[in-house]
Amino acid sequence: MFSTSMSNSREPPMNTIDLIRLSAGCWNSHTERLDHCLRDQDNPEKQYLFIQDDPFSDSGSGKVLPELIQYFQIPQYLLADIYRRSNGFFAFKESRGQNGQRESCYMWFRVLIKIITGRSSMSYHWQEMTFCCRWDSKNCSVLCLGVDASFKSCLQEKLHQIWPDIQGSQPGCLLVPLMEVLVIMFDQSVWLIRDLVRSAEKGRALSNRGLAHFTLLHEVTRHAIHSLETLNVAVDTLSSIQHQIASQSRRSQSMSWDAQDLAESIDKQFDLQVRMLRNLHLRAQSNKERLQNEIAYVFNMITKRDSQIMTRIGEAAKEDSGVMRTIAVVTMFFLPPTFISVGISNVNVKFLLIIRRLFSA
């Protein structure tokens, strides 16, 4: 469903923005002027705004448009390096009127997902996304930073599927479809790593398992560790959002039966999504453990192979030692007569020279 490489589609000019807006009961996608999207509307509106650049990421511009900061009340402290470098966060603010009724609320949260972009574990990219939600009595808007065209397409599909069951004016209504897309992305991330793990296990007997294979396994293990880490944070983030929205609903003093039913439906959807992320977390943990098991297996096989090679070298050296002993015995058997014959020959020569000198005198 999601492309495994970053989208090359061009963003609209900075004075316009891509969005999905609820109109006449249908969610429609189009491009609109930014100032028109952010102005207060007389008619209630629900909309998602999309920007491919995530200013919170290291590769992003690092700058958020002042209009967006103002409209979504983004705190300045969230723009600091400590939050920009984090693998996720969730923050919340609300305001209430004199009668204690909630007038507006703002949420900001960040999610990181590591996506393997092919069959090779060396190719991957980080999907770094930040979301800002604004809700008041008239409007609800969600700003999606760092998302590509496939994210927008999937969100629109999920809106058509989920919205009939959760349509309403509560803050969680727009967050449930968004979380469903994030669950799908995490599912893709975890199962791509699982496919690499399974490929390594199935090809166990097809190679001699050298340094290159060890490097591959360690790369996949690194991805699995990152997947586990980001899933941990995502579970905490989504659980915090669920708790905050449920807490808001419980504190509402004048809530109709229909509103209470809607709040329960939203909470059930969040609960399902949290459980799905926890299931994926277990799968990610399994991926990591299977990789560690595979690395241990390959290490033991290489150690066994090296031991067998050293044994054969020792046997060959033993055979060479036997040959050398044979040569030594043969040499010792034939060497003394040779020395004796040479010694006698030298004596005979000297004797003949003495006799010749005597007769010549």
SS (H, E, C) 84-102: HCCCEEEEEEEEECCCCCE
Does the pTM surpass 0.85? The reply is no
Confidence band of 331 (pLDDT split at 50, 70, 90):
low
- Distance, in Å, from the CA atom of 29 to the CA atom of 22, rounded to the nearest integer, reads 9
| CA neighbor of 200 nearest in space, from 299, 296, 294, 305 | 294
What does the pLDDT read at residue 353? 61
Amino acid at 142: V
**Residue position matching structure tokens 């996608």:** 29
Predicted confidence band of residue 255 (pLDDT cuts 50, 70, 90): low
Q: Which amino acid is at 304?
A: K
If pLDDT is split at 50, 70 and 90, which confidence band does 273 have? very high
C-alpha 56/C-alpha 54 separation (Å) is: 5
C-alpha to C-alpha distance for 120 and 33, rounded to whole angstroms? 41
Distance in angstroms (rounded) separating the CA atoms of residues 129 and 235: 15
Q: What are the residue ranges of helices labelled H in the chain?
A: 34-38, 66-72, 81-84, 149-166, 172-202, 211-251, 257-360
What order of strands is seen across the sheet that includes strand 139-145? Answer: 26-33, 16-23, 45-51, 139-145, 124-136, 102-116, 88-96
* Contacts with 100 (C-beta within 8 Å, 6 or more apart), sequence order: 253
- pLDDT above 70 (res 349): no
| 177 contacts 158 by C-beta, under 8 angstroms | yes
How far is CA 129 from each of CA 145, 224, 334, rounded to the nearest angstrom? 6, 20, 88
pLDDT of 187 strictly over 70: yes
Q: Give the mean pLDDT of 11-28.
A: 81
pLDDT of amino acid 211: 60
Residue 165 has pLDDT above 70, yes or no: yes
Q: Which residue has the higher pLDDT, 164 or 345?
A: 164
- The chain-wide mean pLDDT, for the chain, equals 81
Strand partners, 88: 111
